[in-house]
Amino acid sequence: MSDQPILVTGGAGFIGSNLVDALLARGHSVRVLDNLSMGKLSNLPQGDARLTFISGDVADAALVSRAVAGCNAVVHLAAVASVQASVDDPVSTHQSNFIGTLNICEAMREHGVRRVVFASSAAVYGNNGEGVAIDEETAKAPLTPYAADKLASEHYLQFYGRQHGLEPAIFRFFNVFGPRQDPSSPYSGVISIFTQRAQQGLPISVFGDGEQTRDFFYIADLVELLLQALDAEQAVDGAVNVGWNQSVSLKQLLAQIGDLLGGLPAVTHLQARAGDIRHSRADNSRLAAEYRLPAQTSLRDGLAALLKS
Ligand code: NAD
Ligand code: UD1
């Protein structure tokens, strides 16, 4: 194993901090670059000499260059994860979600670091593939600044791959859930909000009729894939969907949470969010062909673990 650290941008956030735990458990040294806009220091272990925390922004090119220097690989997760936040504030989210990626590319070129694992999103498909399983060839239709920034980031990573020898491993995550997904903002992931409110007995708001569907993926299963992408002899060419090819409606999700908790608080329906995708389900044949699929954590088991955390 290389002594050089792995840089995890956004490492104090939900996915990042779970990955950092797994990397440290495997004996790696880790650097985290995070501006703590959503992430928290309390998500990271304290007093581990192999972990270095750098407070700052991926939009700061000079800082990114210092953070990348001497690293073995990068996992680039830092971004404003909320689609709705990008609709409300496209200028500021672009700095994090696109300029941040470009800075990572440049810094890697400058310092000769090759492998980069990137968190793209199912959002790049927009409403294409609705009602069917979406494969990677499905026409892209970025409907929001968030989706446009993710798709542009993919293209830039591939350009730096062709031109400068970067080895991007690009994943298009569908809906990831689990412990440390922060429920405190209205922009947070739906499972984190619903479970927290249900546990506290607070009313739950469903945007629209609740028949919209998502393909939910448990965090521990995702971390296994991120580790494989770091370890692989060669980076997989092109983007790979991360989902289970399963549709769960918000109504079904609420029923499972209610079942686990022995009841639910009041559920009210509000107007559907503008730009909200109706049905999102991954064709994961490419994932199965290119990676070892983790043993699937069922939605029920994942929810139970989250409710206990
Ligand atoms: P998160 O908000 O918990 O993590 C993002 C982290 O990035 C946070 O710690 C935040 O403080 C940090 N960050 C944001 N802007 C930054 C900036 N400009 N500079 C430095 N740090 C910054 O969200 P997450 O769910 O862990 O998402 C991680 C990545 O995965 C994001 O790129 C997100 O777009 C992507 N993704 C997530 C999902 C999902 O379902 N959670 C699905 C698809 C893609
Ligand atoms: C999520 C991710 C996004 C990722 C995308 C990929 C977050 C915050 N968003 O977006 O980063 O790129 O998956 O598929 O992690 N809803 C309610 N009530 C609530 C909150 C949400 O009804 O209180 C609804 C939404 O309107 C939507 C569904 O739940 O229909 C899912 O919303 P959300 O968890 O924000 O996820 P996506 O928009 O799918």
Alpha-carbon span 60 to 22, nearest angstrom? 27
Cβ atoms of 8 and 16 closer than 8 Å? yes
The number of residues making up the chain comes to 309
Q: Which residues line ligand 2 (CB under 6 A)?
A: 81-83, 121-123, 173-175, 187-190, 193, 205-207, 212, 214, 250, 273, 276, 280
Give yes or no for a contact between 75 and 5, defined as CB atoms under 8 angstroms apart. Answer: no
pLDDT at 37: 96
Q: What is the pLDDT of residues 197-233, one digit of tens each?
A: 999 999 999 999 999 999 999 999 999 999 999 999 9
pLDDT score, position 276: 81
Residue 308 scores a pLDDT above 60: yes
Q: Answer whether 100 contacts ligand 1 (Cβ < 6 A).
A: yes
Note the ligand closest to the C-alpha atom of 182: 1
Beta bridge partners of 106: none
CB contact at 8 A, 41 and 62: no
User: What whole-number distance in Å separates Cα of residue 255 and Cα of residue 239?
Assistant: 33
Instruction: Report which protein residue has its CA nearest ligand 2's atom 31.
Output: 190
Question: Ligand 2: which of 83, 209, 252 to mutate, judged by most atoms within 8 Å of the beta carbon?
Answer: 83
For residue range 152-191, what is the model confidence (pLDDT) as tens digits? Answer: 999 999 999 999 999 999 999 999 999 999 998 777 899 9
Q: Give the closest residue to 212 by CA, choosing from 123, 282, 272, 264.
A: 272
> What pLDDT, on the 0 to 100 scale, is given for residue 1?
56
What CA–CA distance (Å, rounded) separates 139 from 203? 38
State residue 184's pLDDT score.
Answer: 87
Cα–Cα distance measured from residue 127 to residue 143, given in angstroms and rounded to the nearest whole number: 8
pLDDT of residue 66: 98
Per-residue pLDDT for 79 more than 90? yes
Mean local confidence (pLDDT), 68-72: 98
For the chain, the average pLDDT equals 96
Q: Where are the alpha helices (DSSP H) in 165-215?
A: 190-200
Q: Domains plus CATH for the chain?
A: 6-176+216-242 (3.40.50.720), 178-214+246-308 (3.90.25.10)
Determine the residue of 18, 66, 77, 181 to mutate for testing ligand 1's pocket, defined as the one with the most ligand atoms within 8 A of the Cβ atom.
77
Q: What confidence category does residue 71 fall into, taking pLDDT thresholds of 50, 70 and 90?
A: very high
Q: Which residue has the tokens 């542009």?
A: 152
* pLDDT for position 27: 96
Please check whether residue 270 is in contact with residue 206, taking contact to mean a CB–CB distance below 8 angstroms. yes
